[in-house]
């Protein structure tokens, strides 16, 4: 490892690079379970533990925003039993972890088309957002029933409505207009995108937002991801030269 990296703390790297936002594709829960001859449900539960560890690590390191890919618009195509389990796992996790996250200052938000979820699950998610809205710690965005192309369609429809109503002039539409009409408005774009599980694709995740994000791939499955894993990703980020197209 570079000796310069060894002599600088992760907290100092975060400050020096102005690293604000990390996005994660949490991949590998099912493969982790399969390799251990365990049900996929166990892998998903271990994935929740990894998220809790990562969220705490972000707080320790001074990362202000964490966005995680929990359930994609394509995940509805999985077996109904697994889909039902993931819905119940989200509800159970939010209900059981909400108070601790609130006490730790976490501000929770959900991005995606939540209208497709059951009314009961929507109520649980909206209550979590409302309960933590004034917190000033890590901003946790959970992408659920999320797809980046779906998000762009959502933004286009929003903009079309505003043009039709006269609120917005067609000639004044800019990149900022798009950014102001997607799920992550008011949130800085990710500086670093982490994907676990070793796959080399972005899987319809934050396509607009990651235009200039640095990408870090680890072969670790998500249930194995821990504070040291996040530290390694941040140290790798430290050696990137972010040119933003220049």
- Residues with active-site annotation: 27, 75
| Beta carbons within 8 Å of 159's beta carbon, 6+ residues apart | 168, 173, 177, 178, 181
Helix (H) or strand (E) holding 66: strand 65-72
Question: Could you give the C-alpha distances from 38 to 25, 44, 81, 89, 235, in angstroms and in order?
Answer: 22, 11, 16, 17, 33
Residue given tokens 């903009």 in the structure block: 159
DSSP alpha helices (H): ranges in the chain? 3-6, 10-17, 29-35, 40-61, 80-103, 119-132, 148-165, 175-179, 227-238
Tokens representing 144? 């659920």
Largest CA distance in the chain: 59
Closest by alpha carbon to 152, among 208, 227, 218?
208
Closest by alpha carbon to 66, among 28, 19, 124?
19
């Amino acid at each position: 490892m570079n000796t310069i990296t060894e002599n600088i703390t992760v907290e100092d790297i975060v400050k020096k690079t102005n690293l604000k936002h990390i996005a994660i594709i949490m991949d590998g829960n099912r493969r982790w379970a399969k390799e251990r001859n365990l049900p996929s449900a166990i892998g998903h539960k271990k994935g929740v533990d990894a998220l809790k560890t990562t969220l705490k690590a972000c707080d320790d390191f001074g990362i202000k925003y964490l966005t995680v890919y929990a359930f994609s618009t394509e995940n509805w195509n999985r077996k109904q039993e697994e889909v039902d389990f993931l819905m119940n796992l989200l509800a159970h996790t939010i209900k059981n972890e909400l108070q601790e996250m609130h006490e730790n200052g976490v501000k929770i938000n959900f991005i995606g088309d939540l209208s497709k979820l059951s009314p009961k699950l929507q109520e649980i998610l909206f209550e979590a957002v409302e309960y933590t809205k004034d917190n000033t710690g890590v901003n946790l965005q959970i992408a659920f029933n999320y797809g980046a192309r779906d998000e762009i369609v959502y933004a286009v429809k929003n903009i079309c409505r505003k043009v039709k109503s006269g609120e917005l002039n067609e000639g004044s539409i800019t990149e900022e207009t798009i950014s102001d009409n997607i799920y992550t408005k008011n949130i800085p774009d990710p500086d670093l995108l982490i994907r676990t599980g070793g796959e080399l694709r972005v899987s319809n995740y934050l396509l607009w937002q990651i235009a200039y994000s640095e990408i870090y791939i680890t072969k670790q499955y998500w249930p194995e991801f821990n504070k040291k894993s996040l530290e390694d990703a941040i140290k790798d980020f430290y050696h990137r030269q972010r040119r933003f197209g220049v």
